[in-house]
Amino acid sequence: MINLSQALQFPLADIIFSFHQSNLPGKIIVLLLFVGSIYAWSIMVTKFIELRRARDTSRRFMGAFRKELNPLAVFLRRQKFTDSPLFTIYEKGCVTLGAELEALGLNSDDLFVANFSAEKQTLSPHQFEQIRNETERNVSDQSLLLERRMGILATAVNASPFLGLLGTVWGVMEAFTGMAIIGTATLSAVAPGIAAALLTTVMGLLVALPSAIGYNLLAGQIAELQVQTSNFSKEYVDKIGTMFLRAN
């Protein structure tokens, strides 16, 4: 009776045997797929950790932001939530607001208080629009950062099966060509070459399947964060407008 350890050794032995039976192009394709698999897994693991930190930090930032009446309180206290894309948008928005206030010759430190009255609102509609545009640009920048290296993962999903199929077709073609040259059609003569050729398809699928699952999971998390950044930017700009926009 075959035990579990012996059963697990068979696939590995078959892969090693097939690799040795492969021709040079087949071996190159297998090695490329193996390296691609390692790179795809590194991207997926790194991205999952990055997005988990972004979600957790954004949750803490939103809790700190919404419990304050003054939308600038977190910035003035110099609290940092560096892993959060929401905080990056917020911080750059506060810096832009300070620059607009300083352009008017005002001391921004005196204005950033919780009981700032409506009579003292100082931003013109044009300045407010500048802050809105800068915030929207930062949202787009953060979206690009969230999607960084996802294109490589998508390439692994789409290209790996075709690269494996290329190796298989090439190997089968060479196996039948060799059979024609030798002049024998026995199974023992053609089976090793076909088995070696099929190895590239197996490797291609081993790269594509985990990459496809990882890509879809990551894309869902990225889309969720992108919605959060868009919603937060609108909330932030509305609060800034309420606090600082000059009444016409």
pLDDT in tens, 21-33: 667 877 888 889 9
Name the pLDDT band for 1 (thresholds 50, 70, 90): very low
Please write the tens of the pLDDT for every residue from 121-180: 578 888 889 999 999 999 999 999 999 999 999 999 999 999 988 888 888 877 777 666
The residues, ordered by sequence, that sit 6+ positions from 122 with a Cβ below 8 Å of its Cβ are 101, 104, 106, 111, 244, 246
- The residue written with tokens 């090693």 in the block is 16
Both tokens assigned to 1: 């009776």
Cα gap 132→39, rounded to integer Å:
39
Task: Tell the burial category of 109 from Cβ atoms under 10 Å away from its Cβ (0-12, 13-18, 19+).
Answer: exposed
Name the pLDDT band for 242 (thresholds 50, 70, 90): confident
pTM score, whole prediction: 0.81
Please write the tens of the pLDDT for every residue from 154-164: 999 999 999 98
CA dihedral for 174, 176, 181, 182, sign (positive or negative):
positive
3-state class of 72 per DSSP?
Answer: coil
